[in-house]
Structure 1
Amino acid sequence: MIGRSEEYEKMFRLEGQLWWYRHLHERVADALLRQFGKKRDMSILDAGCGTGGLLLFLRQMGYTRLRGIDGSTDAVACCHDRELPVSFVNLNDLADFEPTVTYDVIVCNDVFCYFLDADLLPLIAALANRLKPGGILISNNNAFRAFRGEHDLAVGIVRRFVLSDFERLLPPCGLKRQSSTYWSFVLSLPIVLVRQWQQLQLKLGWHTPAEAMSDVYLPSPWLNKMLLGIVRAEQKLLTRTPFGSSLFMVCGK
């Protein structure tokens, strides 16, 4: 998404309100609670932190040792507006950035989708090398090609994942999956139908890739509240689901 200033501006304005971002942040907080209980002073790095919505959310929850990095100057500027401790770092160069500093938690949400294997494997290895013993890597990822649509084009996503991809990618980097689930399972059918309709319009030439719009927009308040309630209920009632537009994982060394 680097270079798409308008997308960062939308993210900056909406990630504290939009149902999808809010629930993703809640999932990260739940993973932290499960691993560390009520502890709030573990060191946390958000690698590819975007405009800082997750870091802001964690700060509001009382977490005190937060750090972020991102390869977009637009994103870093937004983080600095929020007075967040974020540095500009190209993730391809992560191995060279403060190489002796390690973390209890590294979060890398919706970042791997911008990397092909040749660059992704070194990135995952660099993230693994920054984990302290007993530390965890939390990662949310775009899932299943069936969900590919205009959003992918608008923000420059180059790939989507299934769990078997990470069963191949994680072990060479010294990581083991502790838990995982696809999510938005309950909403899968409407999302797939919308995305497939978008793909058909592109194939027929009714839309062009240059006209593609991202999913980062705020629906009406009642709909936003309803969608948030649905994904919250899904997480509570269905601890692991076999399908969804995202794949959420917690990994350890």
Structure 2
Amino acid sequence: MIGNRDEYESMFQVERKLWWYRILHQKVIRQIQAHFPDSQSIHILDAGCGTGGLLDALRQAGYPNSAGFDASTDAVSFSRERKVAVEQHDLRDVATFQPGKTFDVIVCNDVLYFFNDEQIRQILRVFRQRLRPGGVFISNNNAFSALRGTHDIALTISRRFVKAELVDFARQTGFSLKHTVYWNFLLTIPIWCVRKVQLLIWQMNPSQPVHSDVSLPPAWLNALFLRILRLEQRFFQAPPFGSSLFTVMH
């Protein structure tokens, strides 16, 4: 996705409104609140922060010591429009980001799909070294290769994950897996259908441009999807599958 300014602009425009981002940001903040119930002065790093939507949500939730970085100049530019603390930095070289500084929480959402297994292991090892005692690493990742579509092509998503892979990565890098859950379960089948149709249409004319699914639907539909996901969180504690995989390690 790096270099695709149009996609970053789409993200910037909808990240604080779109049902999917709103649920994800709520999930991250609730985990932070659960792990640090008595402090909002903790230090949080958003590694691969995109256009800064989560950092903005953290600031609004009362966490003043949140910072982030992203490899994309476009992402950093859009993040700075939100007036959040962001630097340009490559996740593959995370060890050199603010040397010597440690964090209570490190978040890395929907970024690991850019990397191969060894790169992921190296990134996680550095994250573990940069966490303070009692700190947590929170990550969201896209799930199940069956859900691959033109969305993946537009965003250069090279892989999708299943729980077993995240369990292995945690074990191999010295983390303990505290929490792992698939989500967007109730919408996964509709998403699968839409993406298969999109992929079929594109395969019939592969020269046509592709775009991600990151766009704001009509207000009523956005509200409906929000309600569905909130019902899912209430009634499905451990869905068997979903379009995303949310994990907490320590």
Same fold flag (TM > 0.5) = yes
**CA shift at 1:118, angstroms?**
2.8
* Structure-2 residue corresponding to 1:211: 209
Out of 122-131 and 105-114, give the one that drifted further.
122-131
Helix, strand or coil for the counterpart of 1:76?
helix
Q: Aligned letter for 1:241? A: P
**In the TM superposition, what is the alpha-carbon distance from 1:210 to its structure 2 partner?**
5.0
- Residue pairs, 1:103-252, within 5 angstroms: 103-202=103-202, 205-208=203-206, 211-252=209-250
Structure 1 partner of 2:62:
62
The CA deviation at 1:209 is 6.5
**SS of corresponding position for 1:195:** helix
Q: Offset at 1:66?
A: 0.6
In structure 1, distance between residues paired with 2:131 and 2:248 = 13
**Contact 1:45-1:103 within 8 A present in 2 as well:** yes
- Residue 208 of structure 1 aligns to a residue in which SS? coil
Q: What SS class does the counterpart of residue 59 from structure 2 fall into?
A: helix
Distance 1:209 1:112 in 2: 28
Shift in Å at residue 206 of structure 1? Answer: 2.1
Q: How does 1:13-52 map to 2 (within 5 A)?
A: 13-52=13-52
Residue of structure 2 equivalent to 1:53: 53
Amino acid at match of 1:166: L
Give the conservation status (yes or no) of the 8 Å contact 1:150–1:199. yes
Specify the SS of the correspondent of 1:200. helix
> Partners of 1:231 and 1:30 in 2: how far apart?
15
Q: CA deviation at 1:98?
A: 2.2
240 and 97 in structure 1: CA distance in 2 versus 1, 3 angstrom threshold: same
1:94 is paired with a residue of what secondary structure? helix
| In 2, Cα distance between equivalents of 1:207 and 1:217 | 22
Larger mean CA deviation between 93-102 and 153-162 belongs to 93-102
TM-score relative to the length of structure 1: 0.95
Q: CA deviation at 1:169?
A: 1.4
Q: Which amino acid aligns with 1:211?
A: P
TM-score of the two chains, using structure 2 as the length reference: 0.96
Aligned amino acid, residue 136 of structure 1 = V
Report if the CA contact (8 A) 1:150-1:209 is conserved.
Answer: no
**Aligned amino acid, residue 119 of structure 1:** Q
Taking the aligned partners of 1:79 and 1:189, their CA distance within structure 2 comes to: 33
Whole-Å separation in 1 of the counterparts to 2:208 and 2:139: 29
Aligned equivalents of 2:38 and 2:109: distance in 1?
23
Q: Distance in 1 between matches of 2:208 and 2:31?
A: 37
Post-superposition Cα deviations, 1:109-138, rounded to whole Å, max 9, x if no partner, equal 001111111322111111111111110000
Q: Distance in 2 between matches of 1:155 and 1:53?
A: 18
Q: After the TM superposition, which of the residue ranges 103-112 and 36-45 deviates more from structure 2?
A: 36-45
Structure 2: which 5+ residue stretches go unaligned? none
Greater Cα shift, 67-76 or 187-196: 187-196
Q: What RMSD, in angstroms, separates the aligned Cα atoms of the two structures?
A: 1.2
Please tell me whether residue 2 in structure 1 is matched to residue 8 in structure 2. no
Give distance in 1, aligned partners of 2:6 and 2:118.
Answer: 29
Q: Which runs of 5+ in 1 are unaligned?
A: none
Q: In the aligned structure 1, how far is the partner of 2:25 from the partner of 2:48?
A: 14
SS in 1 for 2:177: strand
Helix, strand or coil for the counterpart of 1:244? coil
C-alpha separation in 2, matches of 1:209 and 1:171:
42
Cα distance, 1:226 vs. partner?
0.3
Hey, which bits of structure 1, 4+ residues long, moved more than 6 A? none
Q: How many residues align?
A: 250
Structure 2 CA distance for partners of 1:219 and 1:35, relative to 1, 3 Å: same
